[in-house]
Structure 1
Amino acid sequence: MTVHCEYSKHLEKHLTLNIVSGGPSIIRKPGTFRSNLEFTNSLRSNFLAAQQDYADDFSTCDDNSTAPVAATNGGGARINGANGASNGVLNGVHSHRPTADEAWIERDGALMYVPRISWSAAGLQEERSQYDVTVKLFFLPGAPVHERAKYTMEALALVQKELGVSTIDLLIASFPGMSFDGDCEWAADQKNAQQGNLEEEVASWAILEELHRQGTVKTLGIAEFGSEKLAKFISMVRVPPAVDQINVRDCCKVPPPLSKLAKEQGIELFVHTDCMDILPKGTIRDLLGHGLQGAGILADPEQGRDGLEGDIVPQWVVKYTAFVKNRGVIENKGYFAAAEVHDG
């Protein structure tokens, strides 16, 4: 089963960090929140808001409630965050007796949306041409590499539906195991060369290249690629990245070899503050569990509570931003995330 969570905000309703295309070769976006904190905090807020919104439904349910229940094994659930929250999906969940507080959760076949999404509020306020739409797709560690095509299509479909758009201006791929940390920029660049799995990254990039060929995505970018890694990557792909997004929080400067390579290849360097490990397994279990700020949808035998059972494996997270070009404001930002539940 898959659980899907979503978080998004319109106009000034939420705080997120954004990377948009265009501008100087080094672009810095100030902010104190890293994406994992923003993401998890917004998820918790979205869960609480949804539970409050459906409070009337809760009060009318009893032990014979027909509120949605978890899907059988092989299904999925999503955690959502539109309009100030984050969303997600869970697959492979055991079915269980429905409980009254599940009115705020939606099940669609094998998928579970946590919380349910109100698509009536979806869409942008102005013409599509007025926006730069940026999407960052985080492929997570532990998720099957051969499923990345499916993950990509699932993530983009949700963003497109949320924003009411058919095209994405910039899609940035973030691969697991990549970082840009070191005592100095030179050390960070050297360490980066040994990270990740280049063959898997090139194979996954082909999925994005096809979206670019189709016109669904106008510009492609990557994250956390140093000079050596980037040079090898460019030599192995058909469509080179137009953007390289790096986090130089620890080393403070962009390595000169990377700056030189980016200039030669016409690649823009974006500096960001996103977390490299945006959705660890323990975090999503905490988010969906019965803790003080959890969603309360996981089983807790010690407390005698029914719910989803099994090992929760995060699959992907997608971060999106719709930037109004002529006004210089962000109209809509948010996240979607997905995880799968495997039998224990």
Structure 2
Amino acid sequence: MKGGSPSVIRKIGAEKSNVELINSLRANFLASQHVEPVTPSSSSSEEQSTTNGTTYANGQAREQKQRYLEWTSQQDGAMYIPALDFSQAGLSEERSQYDITVKLFYLPGIPASRRCAHTREAIDLVLKELHVDSIDLLIVSFPGISFDADDDGEEEISDNGIEDPDDFDNMLQTWNTLETLCDQGMIMQLGVAEFGSEKLAKFLSHTKIKPSVDQINVRDCCVVPKSLILYAKQEKIELLTHNDCTDILPVGAIRELLGPHDKGAGILASAPDANDGIQGEIETQWVVKYTAVIKDRGVVENKGYFALADVGSCVQEQS
């Protein structure tokens, strides 16, 4: 999806990113636990319980309460869920054979001052996972922006419905960090998400390295505003469409994933006074999605997500 003249490349039938992310996280957690179920027996007098959809004898269920310590790891004040293993090769062929695209979601409610550190953390994890020293394209998704294909506008959420100048300044500050990573050779090209022609025009006038991609979520897959197509062609910006969700990992979903109930990973404590897990309010900080495609075959060889959340101390998740 690189190079050539500006065009609209559609991704048909893709699974919603939040559904894909949650399902892959849950599957990864379960695969990492390596727990053996107890075969229920009608002759057993021991009470049965269910954890993560698997039946255990009551005594065994109690032993599972802090089993997460066996399949997670801690380093520099962060817990990795599951424990990361970067010893396996991330790609099977030479780096030059791949197009590696990364999309970084900055989440609502997180101060923009944290984005510089978040950007480096997210990209570093992807580079380690794939065993590469650069990515071809980084697309950033800023919170509070939604694309409206009907009027080629974008609505930035604020209390009074008017675009907040501070939000725009924060985007520019974040972009400066991305430009630095480009200058260092870590990122080859940059992209944005949900920008209409007006916001693009305003944004480009303040950037040193302009975005080469604008990724938009078009509700009617047959309609892309003509004004945006013309402006993108003028500025040599490639238009892509996507099926990602802006509310990619809400608090309720992360609590369910990490909680003590049937479908949870048993990371969070079961009660405010319980010592069977981590106590505290949880807040998702960022989500990053990466895809490595073999260029000459168009085959996705490696795809996944990383996410980071705060629960008093940092909690990082991988899928």
Same fold (TM over 0.5): yes
The match for 1:105 is 72
Pair 301,191 (structure 1): closer, same or farther in 2 beyond 3 Å = closer
Pair 281,100 (structure 1): closer, same or farther in 2 beyond 3 Å = closer
The match for 1:38 is 20
**Radius of gyration: which is bigger?**
2
Pair 159,101 (structure 1): closer, same or farther in 2 beyond 3 Å = closer
The match for 2:259 is 289
Deviation digits for residues 57-116 of structure 1, max 9, x if unmatched? xxxxxxxxxxxxxxxxxxxxxxxxxxxxxxxxxxxxxxxxx9334211111130101111
Q: Please give the alpha-carbon distance, in whole angstroms, between the structure 1 residues aligned to 2:246 and 2:110.
A: 15
Identical residues among aligned pairs (%): 54
2:182 paired residue among 200, 212, 230: 212
Give the structure-1-normalised TM-score: 0.76
How big is the shift at 1:302?
Answer: 7.3
Contact 2:73–2:82 (CA<8 Å) still a contact in 1?
yes
Matches within 5 A, 1:76-155: 99-155=66-122
Asked if 1:163 is matched to 2:130, the reply is yes
Q: Please give the alpha-carbon distance, in whole angstroms, between the structure 1 residues aligned to 2:156 and 2:8.
A: 19
The match for 1:187 is 151
In the alignment, structure 2 segments of 5+ residues that lack a partner are: 37-64, 314-319
SS at match of 2:224: coil
How big is the shift at 1:162?
Answer: 0.5
Pair 301,152 (structure 1): closer, same or farther in 2 beyond 3 Å = same
The match for 1:318 is 288
How big is the shift at 1:179?
Answer: 1.4
Matches within 5 A, 1:7-46: 20-22=1-3, 25-46=7-28
Contact 2:152–2:227 (CA<8 Å) still a contact in 1?
no
Deviation digits for residues 229-273 of structure 1, max 9, x if unmatched? 111111111111010000002575111111111111110000111
SS at match of 2:82: coil
The match for 1:272 is 242
1:258 paired residue among 198, 208, 228: 228
Residue identity in the other structure for 2:131: G
How large is the RMSD of aligned CA atoms in angstroms? 2.2
State the number of aligned residues: 278
In the alignment, structure 1 segments of 5+ residues that lack a partner are: 1-19, 57-97
SS at match of 1:180: strand
SS at match of 1:316: strand
2:193 paired residue among 212, 217, 223: 223
How big is the shift at 1:141?
Answer: 1.1
Q: Please give the alpha-carbon distance, in whole angstroms, between the structure 2 residues aligned to 1:313 and 1:149.
A: 18
Matches within 5 A, 1:320-339: 320-339=290-309
How big is the shift at 1:144?
Answer: 2.0
